[in-house]
Amino acid sequence: MNEKMKEVLSTSLYLLIVLLVSYLFVHYVGQRTLVNGVSMEDTLQDGDNLLVDKISYRFHEPERFDVIVFKYTHKDNTYYVKRIIGLPGETVQIDNAGNIYINGKEIEEHYGFETIHDPGIAVNPITLGEDEYFVLGDNRNNSADSRMEAVGNINKKIIVGRAWVRIWPLHNAGKVEDIK
């Protein structure tokens, strides 16, 4: 085999490996997603680009206050970014004063800075199933989330992963869990 043929085969093999690794990374490890809308303000802004960690939930369950990305089941290729409030098996309720209760106890959290004006379906106690999560946007009065019947409880199988790092805009880059 001549040198040119070896070089072409070597380059082709290299490109094939790069494509395979890229595919595996995006499919199983992480992906980029875009924040669309104001529902996560002040934590995340419309137009922020995030890297989603798709692998960590294979080793442990999602936790309260994690910011997650999930596939919205009523529209193709639509992803929501929200914060987990209620965990599987818990009962969630939001009273008319905007207080959030888990199993009858008010939770302390510092993500939603405004009083919730509309508790939605959570005005009545909602008991989560064994693979269900209750999520809210940080901009509580401008968020389509688990309070709305159209969104409801989030099944674990539609969770894409944990919002891990904001990569754009560069001046706001950083780990999502460190953004306050």
Q: What residues does each domain of the chain span?
A: 31-178
Q: Which of 54, 82, 143, 146 is catalytic?
A: 82
pTM for the full predicted model: 0.80
CATH architecture for segment(s) 31-178: Ribbon (2.10)
Exposure class string for 2-27: b at 16+ Cβ within 10 A, else e: eeeeeeeeeeeeeeeeeeeeeeeeee
39 among known catalytic residues: yes
List per-residue pLDDT tens for the chain, 180 residues long. Answer: 688 877 877 787 778 877 777 666 666 666 777 778 888 888 887 888 888 888 888 889 999 999 999 887 666 667 889 999 999 999 999 998 889 999 999 998 877 778 889 898 999 999 999 999 999 998 888 888 899 988 889 999 989 899 887 878 877 777 777 655
In the annotation, is 180 catalytic?
no
| 139 CA to centre of own chain | 15
C-alpha distance from residue 77 to each of 63, 129, 138, 160, 173 (Å) = 25, 25, 22, 12, 25
